[in-house]
Structure 1
Amino acid sequence: MKIAVTFGRSNCAGFIYAFYVRPLIPVITLVGLQAGALIGGAVILEQIFVIPGMGLLLLEAVSSRDYPTITGVFLIFGSAIVFINLLVDLSYGFLDPKVRDR
């Protein structure tokens, strides 16, 4: 708190940064890492409950050996994971000024 005051921040701003913003960085990291597991879990969940979606489409394409559909679904899943990782990296710069300056 004293360091925040020496940098010109108020006590309230230093408190918010120290106890709310800084702990968000590892949480955002874990959310970004779990994106692949969430997509994989959606495939299994759609198969169990027969919910129409990308996971069920993927499983039907694999069982019928429809290679263009398999490629398209993996392209969409991969693009979603890359986009989520991009958002995670951009949020680091938003939350931590030390990362933004590098």
Structure 2
Amino acid sequence: MTAKITPWDAADFLTTPDRIAEYLDAVFDDGDPATIAAALGDVARAKGMSQVAKDTGLAREALYRGLSDKGNPQLATVLDVLKSFGLKLSVTPIGDTA
């Protein structure tokens, strides 16, 4: 008997708002811009890229391009995409600021 191996895709597991928020929180915590763009793309694919394009008013092709590990989306795009996910960006202090 041989095992069937399929590629792992984060989008397959981003099925609830809590999972999406935890995933993006971890990626933003890492801070790598390419990883952040790719993770936003993972969530957009999980939500349906066409629906995200409709919600944001951006072209689907532009979203695929910008929300990849090679993409460099503008801040306005990131905020629009997060809003389409039902999320918002927030800021917290790093470590002890006293």
> TM-score, normalised on structure 2?
0.28
Higher-RCO chain (CA-CA 8 Å, sequence separation at least 6): 2
